[in-house]
Amino acid sequence: MMLLMLILAFAVYSLLGRLSPNLLVFINTFCVAVLLTAITYGEIEGAAMGTVAGLLEDTFSHSVFGLSGLSLTITGFLAGWLTQKINLNSLPKRSLILFFFSLLQLVLWILLYNVIFKRSLLSSRPGLYLQPIVNAIITSLLAGLLTPVRRAVD
């Protein structure tokens, strides 16, 4: 199931990049896959998916290799750890938690980017402000749909 999520994240990332590269600023499909894995399977799987998805994202973007890998690994681990401690059955609570972790991933990525390149991305890419909201909504809805599918498969 995790491999399927990674393949779908890559396919949607490629499709969005083909349709309009500006869409990639609003939606981080790899972050969606990592958060979905973390809240579904736990912290170890979330960290592993974060590493693989982040390195895959770094491979196809023109950024420093490992930048997304590190931010997604940390986010995947923390999201998996915390969501095993709390109940995420309600849509508002799940959306709020996923917004927080999507924001955490973006902040980590921007901080690492600023350390390496000594410049800010927030002024040149204002769409980044909306990325945590879009990611949280998509991930929350997918998590709600994935639960019945997982029960049917198990």
pLDDT digits (tens, 9 = 90+) for 77-128: 999 999 889 888 888 888 999 999 999 999 998 888 888 887 776 666 777 8
In this predicted structure, what is the pLDDT of residue 77?
A: 97
- Other CB atoms within 10 A of residue 5 CB: 21
- Least Cα distance to 98 among 68, 46, 128, 138 occurs for 138
pLDDT digits (tens, 9 = 90+) for 26-71: 899 999 999 999 998 999 999 999 999 999 999 887 777 888 999 9
Which pair of structure tokens corresponds to residue 26?
Answer: 């609003």
User: CB-based burial of residue 7 (10 Å sphere; 0-12 exposed, 13-18 middle, 19+ buried)?
Assistant: exposed
pTM, two decimal places = 0.89
